[in-house]
Chain A
Amino acid sequence: MSREDWVFIAIIVIIAVIPLTGSRFYIFLFTDIMIFGLFAVSLNLLIGYTGLVSFGHAAYFGIGCYTCALLIKKASLPFGIAFAATGVFGAASALLIGFFCVRLTKIYFAMLTLAFSQIVWAIVFKWNALTGGDTGIYGIDFPKFIDSKIRYFYFTLAIVTVSLFILRKIVSSPFGRILATIRDNPERTEFIGINVKLFQLIAFIISGFFSAIAGGLFAVFNHSVFPDFAHWPVSAEVLIMTLLGGMYSFFGPMVGAGVLLYLRLESTSYTEYWPFILGTILCIILFFAPGGIVGFIQDRIARWGSSK
């Protein structure tokens, strides 16, 4: 096992004992962090590992939220089925949207993902009869077998751990290597006989799948869903988490989600100018540590090691 695997296990163990503190604050915060961390890591499969900057990932998160909420509230399906369906719907919509997006590169790719995600948002926002429009959907209760905040915390921990495990297997597999090759040089990858668009599309679908899973987890955690969850500022926020933590490491986005959500929760009790604080932090990272927090720390450790 690599050092990163040990860090992974250590983090899971540390998070797993958090509910023992009995602090409702930390149970809430870490459930939130795990959900958005999964969202950010699955976005980073596209950005950091495949070199595709999606500016429309709120769509898959939102689709996950609404799939879960609608199937539970409107179709009265059991939680298990509704939750499983979030991944399926996320992957299916990512297939449909990604099919067109991977044909484009760079800024055009970002713009097309943005346009599609805005359509998802507009549908959710305007289709009052189905989605409740602006008022959203309320009263999504915890399912019977995880009927408490602590139980839902462990449910989230289990789902996120399994998801991250699968994502890690994916990025270190031969498939993941090909994605990295595509990121570094798409033209040359094409020359060695690899269907670049197909690999990009598969990465897009996997990313959409796990983003929707995160959305489904969040819908139940939050007990309600709103059109805002599919709106473009969410895409920007998850991008910020990814960059803040570090897009060149697997767990970086998770760290970014943790730092951002913790600071937001703490700062709102002191000041109403959270956007200003976030903007300033983002600037500092962009100017002085483009590799994010994890990149910065790794850099320091490497320097410390070499100076010894």
Chain B
Amino acid sequence: MGIGFDASFVFIQLLNGLTNAMFIFLIASGLSIIFGVLRILNFAHGSLYMLGAYMTHQCVSFFINSPGRFWLAVLIAPLTVALLGGVIERTLLRRLYRHEELIQLLFTYALVLILSDFARFLWGVDQLSVSRPPILKGAVEIFGQYFPKYNIFIILLGPCIAFFFWLLMLRTRWGRMIRAAALDRETLGALGVNVDRLFTVVFIIGSWLAALGGALVAPVTTIRPGMDVEIIINAFIVVVIGGMGSFWGTFWGAMIVGPVYAMGILVFPRLSIIFIYVIMILILITRPWGLLGRPLER
């Protein structure tokens, strides 16, 4: 590839970057909210995303005769994964809170290993796919280039979910508690809030977001073993850039990483991935708490 791209091609690539940004945002926002409240870096987040995609495939196959099967699957699959997340938090993770960070980190990595084999056991090693819902099949023409309708839907849906979540965080009692817990969970506990239950709820919400990402990505990717560890580092990068625990930080982190990666591939195909790590390093060196985060106490 040389220098002269035509503008419409670049624009389509930008849209591709934005589509990816929305998927990463969904996953990373769950990671970020869990880190913000529980102070745990959840390696298993990619696994929950993968399970979301597999469950979506499972649901679509199960409702094979109903017309809205994709939407039913998007509704049901993330809920099942969120339930699993809740069970993991209640029965296992809970018992490690008093231990060091390293112990918690390695526990979430143990989950990665266990869940990856769990998925391999249930669904095998073949690549699975989910077809796009009929209404979003096909492509639209943009400046003479074709762009899938489904991707446009994702680009529009991402900000809607972000906005909706932001409203929930701002207006509801749970939202206020989550924000308070991110700032100072000891004081919140002293004020009589059931922090134990809050942790469970946050882990369930985070798992749901990861699985929703997995459900929505299912029609545009192949569902296969290994998609868990492929996504998790990208989610870490986004969370670090935006600020661990910061909701909008995660959104803008994803909005930087997605397009930079997509555009980088056009200009320097080999260096694109390195760009992203360099951004992450520069942020950590100059502003470890991220673009929109705040410094951790302690």
Contact = CB atoms under 8 A, between A and B. Distances in A.
Interface in B72-126: 92, 95-96, 99, 101-103, 105-107, 109-114, 116-118, 120-121
Given A119-B277, A276-B118, A112 B285 contact: yes
Contacts of A104: 284, 288
Contacts of B109: 236, 239-240, 282
A287 B236 contact: no
A136 interface: no
A107 B38 CA distance: 13
A111 B117 CA distance: 26
A275 B117 CA distance: 7
A232 B233 contact: yes
Nearest to A274: B117
B107 A283 contact: yes
A286 B110 contact: yes
Contact of A279 (B95, B112, B271, B278): B112
Contacts of A106: 101
Given A123-B274, A243-B106, A282-B113, A103 B285 contact: yes
Contacts, number: 105
B240 A126 contact: no
Nearest to A281: B110
A126 B271 CA distance: 8
B253 to A, nearest CB: 13
Given A279-B114, A290-B99, A273 B121 contact: yes
Nearest to B109: A236
B182 interface: no
Contact of B274 (A114, A126, A243, A283): A126
B34 to A, nearest CB: 13
B240 A53 contact: no
Contacts of B103: 243, 286, 290
Interface residues of A, number: 38
Nearest to A244: B106
Contacts of B105: 53, 55, 110
A224 interface: no
Contacts of B288: 104, 108, 112
A209 B102 CA distance: 23
B273 A233 contact: no
Given A103-B285, A286-B107, A286-B110, A115 B277 contact: yes
Nearest to B112: A279
B41 A279 contact: no
B240 to A, nearest CB: 5
A135 interface: no
Interface in B51-78: none
B229 interface: yes
Interface in A216-259: 232-233, 236, 239-240, 243
A41 B129 CA distance: 44
A127 B107 CA distance: 34
B173 interface: no
A29 interface: no
Given A104-B288, A110-B41, A126-B274, 6 more contacts: A112-B284, A112-B285, A119-B277, A243-B106, A276-B118, A278-B110
Interface of A: 47, 53, 55, 100, 103-104, 106-108, 110-112, 114-116, 118-119, 122-123, 126-127, 232-233, 236, 239-240, 243, 273, 275-276, 278-280, 282-283, 286-287, 290
Interface of B: 41, 43, 92, 95-96, 99, 101-103, 105-107, 109-114, 116-118, 120-121, 229, 233, 236-237, 240, 244, 270-271, 273-274, 277-278, 280-281, 284-285, 288
